[in-house]
Structure 1
Amino acid sequence: MTTTSSTSGSSNTLASLLSGSLSGSNSSGSSTPAPIGGLISTGPLDVTQLVSELVAVDSQPMQQLQSQQSGVQAQLSAYGQVQSALSSLDTSLTALKLGSAFTAAQASVTGSGVGATVTGSPASGSYSVTVSSVAQAQAAASSSFANASTVVGTGTLTIQLGTYNAKANTFTAQSGSSPVNITINSNNDTLGGIAAAINSAGAGVTASVVTDNSGSRLVVASSNTGTVNGFKLTVADSDGNNTDMTGLSQIAFDPTAAAGAGQNLTLTQGAADAVYSINGLSLTSSTNSITTAISGLTLNLIQAPPVGSTLQAQVTIAPDTNAVSNSVNSFISAYNSLVNLESSLTSYDASSNTASVLTGQTPMFQLSSQLRSIIGSQMSGVSGLSWLADVGIDFQNDGTLSLNSTKFSAAVASNPSAVSKLFSNAIGSGNQQGFAVRLASSVESMLAPNGLLGATQTSLQSTISTMGDQITAMQTQLNQEQQNLTAQYSQLNADLVTAQQNQTALANELAGLPMANSLASLQLP
């Protein structure tokens, strides 16, 4: 592109302006500059408009390239939608390809006192659970004080977690735990201040102030249930007596000491383990949420039996058929969403001769063909099952999939292992993979950086970048052309003004000559 390039239309416009500027006629026939509408005040030419028109003509190639770049950007955006749909399809295949959908179980409970939650893949069966007692956290309360602001005393509290053996009257520190020392001074020596200090110490216990008509009491409780989480609270009292009922020692609690002489809190609830049995086998637990008794199942002891009695419950574990159908429906929904997206992005309206953004794109055809080929293929090595259609999954006329729920449920009920292999495991002498494994592998290959979709997106991004560089270069050239043309035509404008002024001066001089009137009236024969 050069600064002197123009089209015939622009040249005609310029020629017209120049002609009108230099030779106009008024109604009396005198030769004077003709006025030109829209001209700038510094000359007969509208330089801004003229340069704008010339540059607009030369900017058409850049505008065409910008339009092409927008089209490529639209394609990249559309492929981004396809990428998202493929990722959703891959996710929907996880439970099917790993087989976890076919090993899912559900637990039901009849009776009372027990809840059950499936956390893994428990074996199917029925379990009789008897609850003799539930796990408890130790709790102890002080004597009554006037209110939470009552000063108790100062010194050091020491809290140690452990197990109290009432028969031997011994306290054994919890394995791995250390005593926690808490300083009580004038800043926190009230009943409420001591409770706050205990709670912020992280000693494995919590404290609260309970108030009723009789006054306020400090209640200390273990944070966790079980005999191993009992506690001992000893005091180093500022008054020198660590076990009496005055000063800070009022809240001492050593279960091995005598009441009022170191065991100054009242035990309101002893630390206890849960006692229960499964199918007659006696067991204990420090918690009421039991995760180790039945593999893949959590038992929750939710109710304490009446004193001297037990609670009975029956826990039944069975395959979760809903998990299988939900996984298959999730896969079908994700696949159909992808098919519908492909259809909208590659459609063509013959009546309006309008194509969609990815119409005719080879990667879209390849993507669709690969997935349909896998879904529609035959598999050997599974007894009685060779096609997805054998379990009720089939293509519809529009390319989407449908599920015959009755047929699928019947197949799962009659041979769940075969249905699982159809989707997941390596089967047969050739180690053939199931449909879900093969589909997921194909999808993940497409999504890989060098895969079908990944490579296409990379190529489009490169094209957009290259076009952007070209557009930048063309814009720079147009900017330079505009500057050059503006300078040239501004100079021409000045020259035209000078010419007009000279023309006017010459006409005035001729009009003042003595011979001018005689020559004007001279009649030629």
Structure 2
Amino acid sequence: MASPIVPSTGLGSGLEISKIVQALVTSDTSAKQAQIKRQTNNNSAMISGIGSLRSALTAFQDAMKKLNDPKAPSFNAYTGTSGNESVVKVKSDGSAVPGNYDIIVNKLATSSKVASQQFAGGASSAISAGEMTISQGGKSYKLKIDSGASLQSVRDKINKEMSENGISANIINEAGGSRLVFASTNTGAGSDISVGGIPELTIDGTVQMSGSGGGFITALAQDAELSVDGLKITSASNTVDKAISGMSLELTGVSAKSGDGSSASTRLTIAQDNDGLKKNIQSFVDAYNTLQKAVTSLTTVTKDASGTMVLGQLTNDPTTRSLLGDMRGVLSQAGASGSLSSLSQLGINTMKDGTLEFNSTKFTTAMDKKMLGGQVQNLFTGDGGVFERMNKAIDPYNSIDGSLASRKANLDKVAKNLSNQQAALDRRTDSLTESLTRKYVAFDTALGKMKAQASQINSIFEALNAQQKNS
């Protein structure tokens, strides 16, 4: 409720009514106002601190997840190198072993490409209604062709309904007419496409097209053919995962022929990848240190420009202390079995400020002398490894229903309660201001009337005295 508007100085009393009312209201409400402000500031700082802590924890977990991505595994002990990536590329995983291999690629795996008969009318040529059957690799797919269809509308229907099966179509315009050409992303012998059901679009994918008739365009689909150290291998795909244990080969071209007609081999080398391991370990250390520095900034007591002590948003917070203790426990805990069981063996040590130091010299010495490369991946990403144990330590705090989320919910309730208290205090302030203002205005009005009456009485007496002097 708004307070009445009154002059700052009473007309009857000469008192500064607004200042008097403000002083009385402040005296009555200042203690409660200070309490609400203090509690609100503390609560807001805690909410902000917990939000910052959760963001830092999530960023750290995301960094570990990236380093533990099964599609791009980190901490591989060995790396593969190809002597000619225009013929073959190589990737290794944790089960690879050092060695050299000579690869000859005789054929690449190819896919089927077939064409229909020629249509003199081009893309607008009419196509009979019916049920089209597209067959490939022992599988058949049915497509309903409605009346009034054209070569182009059939093409569009195929692309819409068959893309998920790796089959597409397009129209090629050549001398003499247009053809509907089918292509596939599936490779390997026996993956040739055949089409039936619609007379003018019937294609035998095992017969080469001739004249205006349909069939395969250049060649039948074929398997890749290669040899590894003279051992012959065939593959329906140009990605060969099982030819060499722990390695994935990507065939990119056919081996060149030498002067005597023999094929030139490409040397694949699998060697311990110290540089790659060092890079990934440093990434983990950097991610952990970023988290540790964020927590330190939230818990450290600092001084402002005037030298006053300023508490961090989470200074002395028991949940944060407990979290840090659990995480540091993971770093010091023995993990994987075998000769590599702790981070310190790789040159990773905890500093006084809680951050990690990575001694690359100690790491290189351990890798060269103790040959720990094959165990590094297991230490970090294996069952019971650092990443798994670290996530188990963090999840009770940072999960959707973790302790930090619960604290945030409770702090939000406190914030709402404080907001309600402030609203109630504002209402009391307005009410008290209005009440006191009315009282002082009434007092000022009464005093003004008394002064007016006193002035009248004085005037009467002055008039009587004047009459007596004149008589």
TM-score bin, normalised by smaller chain: 0.7 to 0.9
Q: Does structure 1 retain, via aligned residues, the 8 Å contact 2:209–2:217?
A: no
* Closer/same/farther in 2, CA of residues 161 and 294 from structure 1, 3 Å limit: farther
The alpha carbon displacement at 1:404 in A equals 1.9
* Residue identity matched to 1:67: K
1:158 to 1:48, Cα distance in 2 relative to 1, 3 A: same
Q: Does 1:352 align with 2:323?
A: no
Residue 252 of structure 2, aligned match among 280, 302, 319: 302
Selected match of 2:241 from 291, 315, 318: 291
* Letter of the structure 2 residue corresponding to residue 393 of structure 1: I
The one of 80, 98, 106 equivalent to 1:107 is 80
Residue 231 of structure 1 pairs with residue 182 of structure 2: no
214-223 vs 67-76, greater mean Cα deviation: 214-223
Letter in 1 for 2:249: L
Q: What residue is the counterpart of 2:289 in the other structure?
A: 336
Q: Is the 8 A contact 1:140 1:269 kept in 2?
A: no
Question: What's 1:192 paired with?
Answer: 152
Structure 1 position 82 matched with structure 2 position 53: yes
Residue in 1 that maps onto 2:217: 267
> Is 1:134 the equivalent of 2:108?
yes
Query: C-alpha displacement at 1:405, in angstroms?
Result: 0.8
State the TM-score, normalizing by the size of structure 1.
0.68
Change (3 A) 1:445 1:197: closer
Matches within 5 A, 1:25-174: 38-39=8-9, 48=18, 50-68=20-38, 69-89=40-60, 102-111=75-84, 112-118=86-92, 121-142=95-116, 148-156=122-130, 158-162=132-136, 174=137
Matched AA of 1:356? L
SS in 1 for 2:186: coil
Q: 1:316 to 1:487 in 2, by over 3 A?
A: same
2-side partners of 1:306 and 1:382: how far apart? 47
Q: CA deviation at 1:184?
A: 5.6
Tell me the distance in 2 between the aligned counterparts of 1:58 and 1:361: 34
Rg bigger for which structure?
1
Query: Are 2:434 and 1:483 aligned?
Result: yes
Deviation at 1:330, TM superposition (A): 2.6
Do the aligned residues in 1 keep the contact of 2:188 with 2:222 (CA within 8 Å)?
Answer: yes
Cα distance, 1:408 vs. partner? 1.0
Distance 1:505 1:129, change over 3 A: same
Question: Aligned in 2, Cα 1:62/1:199: closer, same or farther, shift over 3 Å?
Answer: same
Partner residue, 2:3? none
Contact 1:133 1:274 in 2 (8 A): yes
| 1:82 aligned partner, one-letter code | L
1:338 positional shift: 3.9
CA distance in structure 1 between the partners assigned to 2:283 and 2:206 by the alignment: 62
Q: Shift of the alpha carbon at 1:54?
A: 2.6
* Distance 1:136-1:348 versus aligned 2 partners, 3 A rule: closer
Q: Which residue identity does 1:221 align to in structure 2?
A: A
Confirm or deny: 8 A CA contact 2:113 2:182 kept in the other structure: yes
Once the two structures are superposed, what CA deviation does each residue of 1:84-134 show, in whole Å capped at 9, x if it has no partner? 334445565679999x85555422112452222346644444444332212
- Aligned 8 A contact 1:131 1:311 in 2: no
Q: Deviations over 1:322-373 (max 9, x none)?
A: 4432333233323433443454441333971332335862638945983797
Identify the range of structure 1 (465-474 vs 133-142) with the bigger mean alpha-carbon deviation: 465-474
Partner of 1:393: 348
Please, which runs of 5 or more residues in structure 1 have no aligned partner?
A: 1-35, 163-173, 237-241, 243-248, 428-432
1:165 is aligned to none
Amino acid at match of 1:231: I
Instruction: Work out the CA distance in 1 between the residues paired with 2:362 and 2:121.
Output: 72
1:315-334 equivalences under 5 Å are 315-334=268-287
Counterpart of 1:239 in structure 2 is: none
Partner letter of residue 142 of structure 2?
A: V
The reply to whether residue 503 of structure 1 matches residue 463 of structure 2 is no
Aligned equivalents of 1:468 and 1:387: distance in 2? Answer: 51
Q: Distance in 2 between matches of 1:481 and 1:140?
A: 91
Secondary structure at 2:193 match in 1: strand
SS in 2 for 1:180: strand
Partners of 1:266 and 1:438 in 2: CA distance: 56
**CA distance 1:380–1:314, change in 2 (3 Å):** closer
Q: Write the distance in 2 (CA, Å) between the matches of 1:425 and 1:140.
A: 47
Identity %: 23
**Contact 2:9–2:15 (CA under 8 A) maintained in structure 1:** yes
Deviation at 1:406, TM superposition (A): 1.5
In 2, Cα distance between the equivalents of 1:326 and 1:222? 40
Q: How far does the alpha carbon of each residue in 1:428-460 deviate from its partner, in whole angstroms, 9 at most, with x for none?
A: xxxxx8877766655556657999867876775
Query: Aligned AA for 2:112?
Result: Q
Gaps of 5+ in 2: 1-5
SS at match of 1:287: coil
SS of residue paired to 1:269? coil
Q: Contact (CA 8 Å) 2:172, 2:181: kept in 1 or not?
A: yes
**Given residue 516 of structure 1, which amino acid in structure 2 is its aligned partner?**
N
> 1:272 is aligned with what amino acid?
Q
